[in-house]
Amino acid sequence: MTGSSRKNDDYFKSKFRGCLLGLAAGDALGAPFEGAWPTTASQVLASAAERTRFRYTDDTHMAIGVTESLIACGGFDGHHMTEVFIRNFDREPWRGYGAGPPRIFQKIKAGASWNEAAEDIYPGGSYGNGSAMRTAPVGLFYREDVGNMATAARGQSKITHTHPWGQEGAFLQALAVALAANSEPLLSPGEILARLQEQAKEGLYLQKLDQIKNLLGTDNPAEIASVLGHGIEAFNAVPTAICCALRHPHSYADAVVEAVSLGGDADTIACMTGAISGAGLGIEAIPEEWLAKLENSDYLEKLAVELWEAARL
């Protein structure tokens, strides 16, 4: 390997590690605040400091499943990914899963087909944020191929979240991660927003992406939640997560702390913000004391390196 390709290798490995550990640390940071009222950055930091362990939730658990399947199959395979989701859920059903996925897994175990079981879980299928919170590894794997990324991000969504708003959230979050991973260490918020707007199809998301521009400079974070939302629905979580990452292009910690401070679906929004910010800034940007407390960090590190190697083939 030449000097420059080794440098390239280390550079992208840092971004893959930053993304997977960044999403897990964001999820864990926000977990005690899920469903809470908005809080201050200092309260979020105090909660982090007083904990001895950062335990992650279903968001990271499902992102691990996506990563494991992408590595095992060398790309997206819906049947395989469904089996991995079910196997992982059966091992650790206490991670705090949303209402829909366990019901879908049960239907599949009872004989339903993996690509039909989710269609009628809610009218029009689910638009919860559960398929966007786990989609970051798809953005990493297909970071240079938007067409296959869209197919894989929407495909992995359809296992549990078939509603067009659920699928669009999963695709846009994957694309935000890819754009961050492909950019120089510092994110370019304007360029990332423009690329997301080029690729978005659903009017609801186009409208919110447009509103992000006006929120990049606000000194009142509460405005982010009031304009974009901070709820469990993908359209109320994905634009907010992207906004928090883009508002803090130089600081992973500031981005995820702000995401948690908004309240609402705090762990999931911080998980998605952490994936984008970690992919942009690399593993070095995540506070060491958080990584030291993070559950299963060795396994997440291993997966990140294996995903990088699988994506390079």
What is the nearest approach in angstroms of Mg ion to the Cβ of residue 133? Answer: 7
What is the nearest approach in angstroms of ligand AR6 to the Cβ of residue 232? Answer: 5
Q: Which option in ligand AR6, Mg ion, none does residue 15 bind, with CB closer than 5 to 8 A by kind? A: none
* Site residues (vs Mg ion, CB under 5 A): 34, 265, 267-268
Cβ atoms of 256 and 219 within 8 Å: the answer is no
Q: Which option in ligand AR6, Mg ion, none does residue 258 bind, with CB closer than 5 to 8 A by kind? A: none
Query: Which is nearer to ligand AR6, 120 or 289 (by Cβ)?
Result: 120
**What is the rounded CA–CA span in Å between residue 14 and residue 241?**
21
Query: Which is nearer to Mg ion, 34 or 233 (by Cβ)?
Result: 34
Q: Which option in Mg ion, ligand AR6, none does residue 139 bind, with CB closer than 5 to 8 A by kind? A: none
CA 213 to chain centre: 21
Residues in Cβ contact with 63 at an 8 Å cutoff, skipping those fewer than 6 apart: 20, 23, 24, 133, 134, 135, 136, 137, 271, 275
Query: Which is nearer to ligand AR6, 89 or 141 (by Cβ)?
Result: 89
Structure tokens at 106: 């049960």
Query: Which is nearer to ligand AR6, 268 or 277 (by Cβ)?
Result: 268
**What is the rounded CA–CA span in Å between residue 144 and residue 311?**
10
What is the nearest approach in angstroms of ligand AR6 to the Cβ of residue 198? Answer: 26
Query: Which is nearer to Mg ion, 34 or 258 (by Cβ)?
Result: 34
User: What is the DSSP code (8-state) at residue 129?
Assistant: T
Q: Which option in ligand AR6, Mg ion, none does residue 163 bind, with CB closer than 5 to 8 A by kind? A: ligand AR6
* Site residues (vs ligand AR6, CB under 6 A): 57-59, 96, 98-101, 122-124, 126-130, 161, 163, 232-233, 265, 267-268
Q: Which option in Mg ion, ligand AR6, none does residue 78 bind, with CB closer than 5 to 8 A by kind? A: none
Q: Which option in ligand AR6, Mg ion, none does residue 128 bind, with CB closer than 5 to 8 A by kind? A: ligand AR6
**Phi, psi (deg, nearest 5) at residue 54:** -100, 105
Residues in Cβ contact with 103 at an 8 Å cutoff, skipping those fewer than 6 apart: 121
> Using DSSP, how many helices (H) and how many strands (E) does the chain show?
16, 0
Structure tokens at 265: 């679906």
